[in-house]
Amino acid sequence: MKEYKTVYKLSMENPHRHYLKVEVSFNKLPADKEFIDVKIPVWTPGSYMVREYAQHVHEFTANDFSDQNLNFEKINKNTWRIFKGLEESVQVSYLVYSFDLTVRTNFLNSSYAFVTPSATFVYLEEFKNEKALLKVELPEGWEKVSTGLKRIEGRTNTFQIENYDILVDSPLLCGNYQTFDFEVDGKNHEIAVQGIFKNDKNTFVSDIKKIVETEFELFGELPYKDYTFICIFSPGKYGGLEHLNSMAVVFDPFELVDEKRYKDWLALIAHEFFHLWNVKRIRPIELGPFDYDQEIYTKLLWVAEGITSYYDDFLVLKTGFYTTEEYLEVVSKNIKRLQTNYGRNICTLEESSFDAWIKFYRQNENSSNTICSYYNKGALLIMCLDLAIRNYSKNEKSFDDVLLRFNKFYKEEKRGFTKEEFKEMVKEVVGSDFPEILVNYLETTEEIDYEKYLGYAGVEFVKDEALPRNLGLDFSEKEGTLTVNRIYQGTPSWDSDINVNDEIIAIDGIRVNKTLLEKFLTKSESGQKFKFLIARDLEIREVELEATSLREENYKLVKKEDVSELAEQIFQKWIG
Ligand SMILES: [Zn+2]
């Protein structure tokens, strides 16, 4: 064991108490250095928020190799300074409270553990690029560990770690759960399924396999030795996180049996799998290697998530799970999402990327008025770029070719690209005269010209303005109480004195319930005036509100019959 400079032991005695136990030995430390600084990350790559993982670390101790206590002190929120004297080996031990089930935190109960390495394992800056070892000790009766880490043959649940970045990029699932295997390109893929699971297993596995095959075909390679899908099914949960040769996804098992939601699930799988290339390899220069101590800033998160979000639905179509009509409906919903989001008028895509840490990842009741999603707008922009490339190249090229160029760049340079390099590569693939379509859409809030780009594929963009817009508020109902959750800018509610958290009691003297309130909100005529009776901080008050002529814009995408030959060809090759 001593050949490794860092050796981790992870155990989980009494899992019902939700504490992971971590013991680490740091070996071959320089004898002349009086102290070492042991750190735990404050965030995890792929999820751009400082999560302060150190808050869950308890009962930290440090010993030398003859088990004598060593003095230590915390020098900041996530660093322990251990005074080791002449010692060449130091052992630390601590507990990590683990009871937050998401793809970027830890969870442990008497059935299973999901381990997010950056939230769990401490490191020494000076050993970050060195090989390490991880041994997992399971509670009695638990049998399985699933992870992308390299298993050491002949040793129980022991893994070799190339460097700390790879450890951080390899979450673990431990317990007794179902696993399924399949092969693509001679490589093994394991699907680990924790939780209630009512779907047909064969279909489930073969559908995931089909997505892997579609992406394999697109890139012409699978850049790993083996791949692990960690799937946790838990009611009300949704989320996914990409990793080097694995993904972690949480999803609601009861939604998984719904035909429509099942396609969303497949899009989630396609999304996280696509990140294998776009983000894990092809990436903006700032996205790795990382500083785990603080935020890393990039204006190009929209590249990471926009391209991936465009391709997730697109690949579900290409794999044959969406019909052309269903796909156009998905796109029209995405357009509606952006166009009804007031934040698009005040926040550019680059600002949204840069401030993800404090805005997109820390949303509040006013967020739709102030930010635009770099997933949503980024995906629509890449769709427009894809269509512009298809049109410019007379249907010879597409964004797929740009992706392959990006991948070549990664392989040659082994680093991320700058915004200039991104633009240069697009021009190199498409042609030096290819017009710059991105700049205003990235740096300003100029509205995307959907008509133009969709027109290249003969798709008509129909704004159906028949629906009256609601009065501009969202509410929820709990035990008969109707509470305002959001007020949308540019609507009658925004102009009135109704606040988030107000309780709506009556309108025009009529006691309202959920159904009645919905009716008022959506069926009001322009100029109609209302008196809302509300309760705010226990005080009853009346608030006036006047419906305006605002219309809910509905976006329908329809393939036109009579289009140019080129547009027809583009349509067929794109989504036909
Ligand atoms: Zn993503």
d(CA 523, ligand 1 centre) in Å: 37
Contacts of 43 (CB under 8 A, 6+ apart): 49, 50, 51, 53, 118, 292, 295
Question: Cis bond leading into 235, ω under 30°?
Answer: no
**Distance in Å, CA 366 to ligand 1 centroid:** 23
pLDDT at residue 1, as a whole number: 59
Question: How much is the pLDDT for 491?
Answer: 87
Centre of ligand 1 to C-alpha 514, Å, is: 35
Q: Which residue has the tokens 């003859």?
A: 66
Determine the distance separating the centroid of ligand 1 and the alpha carbon of 543, expressed in angstroms. Answer: 42
Q: What torsion do the CA atoms of 457, 460, 461, 466 make, to the nearest 10 degrees? A: -160
CA 376 to centroid of ligand 1, rounded, Å:
11
What is the CA(60)–ligand 1 centre distance, in A?
A: 34
- Two tokens, residue 568: 């027809």
Question: What pLDDT is recorded for position 438?
Answer: 83
Q: How far is the CA of 228 from the centre of ligand 1 (A)?
A: 17
Taking the centre of ligand 1 as the mean of its atom positions, its distance from the CA of residue 284, in whole angstroms, is 14
Q: Where are the alpha helices (DSSP H) in 183-297?
A: 201-219, 253-256, 259-274
Residue-level pLDDT at 404: 98
pTM metric for this prediction: 0.96
Residue 116 Cα to ligand 1 midpoint, Å, equals: 17
- Measured at the alpha carbon of residue 379, what is the angle toward residues 375 and 381, in degrees to the nearest 5? 120
Q: Give the model's pLDDT for residue 469.
A: 61
Domains of the chain: 6-175 (2.60.40.3650), 178-262 (3.30.2010), 301-464+559-574 (1.10.390), 473-546 (2.30.42.10)
Distance of CA 307 from the midpoint of ligand 1 (Å): 9
Amino acid at 504: I
- 87 SS3 class: coil
Q: 277 CA distance to ligand 1 centroid (A)?
A: 11
Give the chain's length.
576
Distance 327 CA to ligand 1 centre (A): 19
The pLDDT score that the predictor gives to residue 552 is 65
Q: How far is the CA of 83 from the centre of ligand 1 (A)?
A: 41
**pLDDT score of 463:** 77
Which residues, in sequence order, are CB contacts of 268 under 8 Å at separation 6+?
240, 249, 251, 312
Tell me what pLDDT residue 465 has.
Answer: 63
| Positions of the chain with pLDDT under 50 | none
Report the 10 Å Cβ neighbour count for 511: 9
Ligand 1 geometric centre to CA of 47 (Å)? 9
Going from the C-alpha of 544 to that of each of 432, 482, 500, 514, 549, the distances in angstroms are: 58, 18, 16, 20, 17
